[in-house]
Amino acid sequence: MPLLEAREALGAAWQRAGQEDATVTLRLQTRSGLTRIFEYAFDYARDNNFSRVTFVDKPMVLRHSSAFARVIFEETAQRYPDITGAIENVDAVALWMVQRPERFGVIVAENMFGDILSDLGAGVMGGLGFAPSGSFGNSGAYFEPVHGSAPAHAGLNKANPSAMFLAIAMMLEHLGYPAQSDCITRAVSLVARSAVRTYDMGGSHTTCQVGEAIVQQCVEFQGLLVDRRERSRFAQGERHVSAL
């Protein structure tokens, strides 16, 4: 079940000011930032055959900033008549992601809500060991597991490497190598269903062992892909000779 969550990483509730007995956090949202993330969400939905984009917010509590974002979301949605745009409360979405994640295709949110839901989404898909992420800017992008560097597991050879492989798959897709991206994604999926598992999946295999299994599966998939291409070229050559 594919699911993408897009979040606006430059704005939202990260601007702070306070004294000893009180503090305030400002939710900063800009038209340019919201427009960019909404357009990305709808473009991704269209390119990947999703029929729905859900904007996650808390409109009955954060009334002013939510009203501002709602206008921009609805303006953006009008330019994509083939895709349904919906606005939902973040608490309701958290429940539905656990109970019925298949109802979502693309979820878009501001930074704080997106940060929370990204870990929830990782749990739904099997844990942080399987969750890749990408950060996209105007001039570049970088990719990493949702869990980051996981320093608590450094040197223990126990972390699940699947998220790193899936982050590489995301990068390859972004760079225009869909076949290679699909090869890695399928390899991770196949190994995850095998008996080769790290501790977070109830197994006892090491990071290296799971990584090697994924690499070996990629090699086998790539070999099959090359073999099919060679057979196709050979068949085309036979047809060409017959025509002569």
Asked which of 125, 157, 176 is the last residue of a domain, the reply is 125
What angle is formed at CA 10 by the lines to CA 8 and CA 14, rounded to 5 degrees? Answer: 105
Q: What's the domain range around 100? A: 1-16+23-125
- Across 4-8, 120-124, 205-209, the highest mean pLDDT is recorded for 205-209
Average pLDDT rounded to a whole number, residues 120-125: 90
Tokens, residue 154: 């450094």
Average pLDDT rounded to a whole number, residues 216-234: 71
Whether residues 75 and 142 fall in one domain: no
Structure confidence at residue 243 (pLDDT):
46
Structure confidence at residue 141 (pLDDT):
93
Structure confidence at residue 15 (pLDDT):
53
Q: Which of 1-10, 38-47, 77-86, 93-102 has the lowest mean pLDDT?
A: 1-10
Whether residues 6 and 66 fall in one domain: yes
Tokens, residue 130: 């399987």
Tens-place pLDDT, residues 150-173: 888 889 999 999 999 999 999 999
Residue with tokens 């509730």: 13
Instruction: Name which residue leads in pLDDT, 123 or 24.
Output: 123
Of 143, 144, 94, the residue nearest 114 (C-alpha): 94
Whether residues 131 and 115 fall in one domain: no
Average pLDDT rounded to a whole number, residues 171-182: 94
Model confidence at 25, pLDDT cuts 50, 70, 90, reads confident
Whether residues 99 and 194 fall in one domain: no
Single pTM value for the model: 0.77
Whether residues 5 and 104 fall in one domain: yes
Q: What is the DSSP letter of 30?
A: -
Whether residues 47 and 150 fall in one domain: no
Model confidence at 244, pLDDT cuts 50, 70, 90, reads very low
Burial (0-12, 13-18, 19+ Cβ within 10 Å), 178: exposed
Q: How far is CA 39 from CA 3, 11, 43, in A?
A: 17, 16, 6
Structure confidence at residue 224 (pLDDT):
65
Whether residues 47 and 97 fall in one domain: yes
Question: In angstroms, rounded to a whole number, what is the distance separating the alpha carbons of residues 109 and 25?
Answer: 18
Average pLDDT rounded to a whole number, residues 76-102: 95
Whether residues 115 and 7 fall in one domain: yes
Instruction: Name which residue leads in pLDDT, 225 or 142.
Output: 142
Of 107, 136, 40, 109, the residue nearest 80 (C-alpha): 40
Whether residues 119 and 33 fall in one domain: yes
**In 125-206, alpha helices (H):** 162-174, 178-192
Asked which of 125, 157, 189 is the last residue of a domain, the reply is 125
What CATH number does the domain containing 44 carry? 3.40.50
Structure confidence at residue 138 (pLDDT):
80
Whether residues 116 and 148 fall in one domain: no
Domains in the chain, number: 2
Please determine, for residue 11, whether its predicted confidence score (pLDDT) is greater than 70. Answer: no
Asked which of 79, 101, 125 is the last residue of a domain, the reply is 125
Whether residues 134 and 219 fall in one domain: yes
Structure confidence at residue 242 (pLDDT):
46
Q: How far is CA 26 from CA 17, 58, 65, 191, in A?
A: 8, 15, 10, 45
Model confidence at 83, pLDDT cuts 50, 70, 90, reads very high
Please determine, for residue 186, whether its predicted confidence score (pLDDT) is greater than 60. Answer: yes
Whether residues 120 and 9 fall in one domain: yes
Residue 38 makes CB contacts below 8 A (sequence gap 6+) with 53, 55, 72, 73, 76, 77, 108
